[in-house]
Structure 1
Amino acid sequence: MNNIISAYQSDTDDEEGISSSTKATPSHQSKQGAISGYVSKRKRKHLADNHECTSEVKAAKFDALSFYCCDESNVESYSDTYQVPKKKLISFKEHTTAVTSLDWHLHDHRLLLSSSMDHSVRVWDPYMQECCVANYKPLNAALQVSKWVNGHTVVCGGYSNHAVHVDMNTLQNISTIKQDSFVTALKVHPTDRNNVIIGTYKSQVHSWDLRSDRAVNTYKGADGQILDLEFLVNNSEMVASADVVKKNSSSETVVVWDYRSAVVRSNQVYQEPYTCPSLCAHPYEHVFVAQSNANYVVIFSARRPYKLNKFKRYEGHKVMGYRISMDISPCGGLLCSGDANGQLYCYDYKSSKILTKLQAYNGSACIDCKFNHGLSSIATCSWDGQVTVW
């Protein structure tokens, strides 16, 4: 009987295609320190089954992300809590000039997207230390922002009168969206991923349907170039920060619209005479935060009348005219911000106290920081072209 049982177990393992050595030592653990956080059995099996084909995928001219883009229904969240970043996991410096934005993949949490002034968008896999997985130049112009849309598609824009919808799997442009001026800000709708709002240098905000490649709405009321965009209140409203250039018009620095009707809800949100280069909505509370050029992060209510919280703000870091971004952890307990002196500041969201500050870069500003929504980590980028994961 024992022989029959052992033979059955051996046949079962052969059918599943998993050898005993693979079970004992998964391929993703071959590089110590490459993974931080729990990895499910399903994910380990996926990595073990596909580990042998990684070199072929990287060598291929097209199909650049076929190994990485997996079925969304099979992806699990690795971490429900986020800790204060303490040490550097890995750092890349393949961009030749300033990195302007970062964005983690929605479903495959290993993939990190970056855009740069060197005209390129790149995809990184820091957890497998595969360096650059995909590299593409969608426009003959410096890029200001790029965002994941669905699966392996990306929308990006910069110092050109076009925003581009790109397939990073084939490294080809799907469509080109004509704009009235330079693209300065982008935001993909959180639930309807085919809708994108695009901010331009001439103070215009346009809502685009990527399926029909046409404008749905135009939002007017801001002054100066659009610096950042964010969705509020169950995605029914949107807020934009603008680089005010008109005298005595600081009341239009932050403007809120109804997303469907394009009606201005309020343009009296931020009364102080400073611009706000970055916006971020809290994942659970009805508030949003704005990075101010007065060297602090300020809190607003996400419901009318969008009242400013005068009793709490996050200060200590320096902005100094850079488009310094900040981000709130998916658990809602941490707020991290870049710094003009190259440091990464991490604050306790409730108390606004500084928990830690890391010297991320020497002699270069820390421009952007983004929390990974599946792993307890954060990515940063610098003005001299570095991308780092903590």
Structure 2
Amino acid sequence: MSGDAGSPGGWPAVGYEDVPWTLPPELEGRVAITDVVRLEARPYRAAIAPTIADLDPYRHLTAARADDVASAAAEISAFDRDVAHLPVPMPAVLLRTESASSSQIEHLTANARNLATAALGLRAGENAAAVADNAAAMRRAIDMAGPLNRDQILAIHATLLRRGDPEIAGRFRSGPVWIGRPDLSPHGADFIPPRWERIEGSIGDLVAFAARRDMNGLVQAALAHAQFETIHPFSDGNGRTGRAIVHSILHATGFARHTTVPVSSGLLGDTGGYVRALTSFREGDIDPIVATFAGAARRAVANGRQLAADTAAIHEEWQQVIRARRDSGAWRLADHLFAQPVVTSAYVEQFLGSSRQGAFNAIATLVTAGALHQGSADRRNQVWQARDVLDAMDAFAARAARRELR
């Protein structure tokens, strides 16, 4: 066992320990006996996450970096206040776009139409269903009261993988995982997280760090996220769960009380830099991950403001063309289309609490105005789409993927 305190940025680096390797039972008979002997003859090097609960991040950040991240956090707070008063439900819009960006970092892509379709429980492909579950996991992270704790982390993960992988959903892993190319064993992997027996202790230390209120919330979110990814407590879904935790902390610390600031969309433009920053964190330098989150926050706010302007313009245009009383079912549905831009008649009936005919009347009014368009000719599964809203969401996603966005 070894440790590396006092590395480049002064933050404690991960330590390492040798762990015996035994071929998992499911691979027995599929691997040549010579490979089994070779692999089991040598241990692998697993990380040991440092204890961070009581560390002072500001002792390891330059004054310029501390000012930079404070400025970025102030931009988050201003954005949070501004979008809360818009005439469209921006928190729901941003939550969905953020879940899509976080999922895209893991190479799970779905356009706005498929994601909205999956949110209805309709078939739209495996990726769209996974992204919809990620949105639900983020919603759960934000809605949880009080500081982050162990049970909340498990609940977020359970929501994320409830359909995709229910056998591991909401359960810490009970074996090794590794990041990198090897298939048969962790030998030669890019990074091998701590052995599973250390997870409970490391998570306890992490939630103690997240419960503190003596630092900037964006600094705390960045470091808690990097520590979580280092622990890698789950067999799958660590990245998406870790980014949901970011929103839990930003909400709990008061920097984003009203909406979801799409930080993942800011990370998406430079995933290579994001991965390098996580590596630097593990080597004992926290400056890159804090800088990465400050930059991501600024890009997210810029992109989010553009999306807010686009949706507000759509809403203003609808005001000119929708021929219905402002308190009508048609307008209630129109406002809701920003949160759920694909609907069925059954969904509209339930949302409005109306009769079937009342739902069709509201839909027809919006179709006549051009706010809704028929998306399927199948009468049994007929859907309608708010194309302008979907286009605005897809434009947000396209901007997020461009690194030059500022």
Normalising by the smaller structure, the TM-score range is under 0.3
Q: Where is the strand percentage greater, Structure 1 or Structure 2?
A: 1
Query: Higher helix fraction: Structure 1 or Structure 2?
Result: 2
Scaled by the length of structure 1, the TM-score of the pair is 0.26
Larger RCO, structure (CA 8 Å, separation 6 or more)? 2
The two structures have a TM-score, normalised by structure 2, of 0.25
